[in-house]
Amino acid sequence: MQQPRQYHFRSVVPDDLGLLNKWQTQPHVSEWWDSEEPTSTDDLKDHRVARWIVSLDNTPFAYMQDYTVHGWSDHPFFDLPEGSRGIDQFIGDPNMTGQGHGPAFIAQRTAALFQSGAPVIATDPHPKNTRAIAAYQKAGFKVIRPAEETQWGPILPMAIYNPT
């Protein structure tokens, strides 16, 4: 039986900004992730958001962030229970897409967030981003409300609930 892949998550540091901004300009990322506003050192100071470089076999290939959904009073997930987290992610290296890495590292990070006490993990892909929606569904997320328009653009609210 094959062992599940183990992904490594390390905090984003200022030296990672060049890599993140390069990834954000990749066509498969910039279609859904705003490359007009690259990640900056000021972004890294926002303690509402934990930002991660995701690696496999010591090779960074993706970005993931998790954040408190109660950090913004107008956030679409503000109604979720206290301690809930939101997540966003992208695979920056185009050679790593379509291989099941997205659902796998999303599930690994989600398990860690549940282990640290989060009651619900939510995400909000663009309703037309079928690849992201499928990846989240494979990781156990379900649509919780119809697609809606927000100040950040159209979203499809999805969530997974802590099984304990």
pLDDT level of residue 70 (50, 70, 90 thresholds): very high
Query: Would you say 74 and 152 are in contact if contact means Cβ atoms under 8 Å apart?
Result: no
Provide the pLDDT confidence category of residue 42 given band limits of 50, 70 and 90: confident
**Average pLDDT along the chain:** 92
The more confidently predicted of residues 34 and 92 is: 92
In this prediction, residue 119 carries a pLDDT of 98
Give the CA radius of gyration of the chain.
Answer: 15
Q: Which residue has the higher pLDDT, 42 or 111?
A: 111
Give me the torsion for CA of 24, 29, 30, 33, rounded to 10°: -80
pLDDT bucket at 74, cuts 50 / 70 / 90: confident
Say what the pLDDT of residue 38 is. 59
Q: What pLDDT score does 156 carry?
A: 97
Nearest to 11 by CA among 77, 65, 81, 92: 65
- Confidence band for 32, pLDDT divided at 50, 70 and 90: confident
The pLDDT of residue 2 is above 70: no
Q: What pLDDT is recorded for position 36?
A: 57
pTM summary value? 0.91
Query: Who wins on pLDDT, 32 or 125?
Result: 125
**Is residue 32 classed as helix, strand or coil in its secondary structure?**
coil
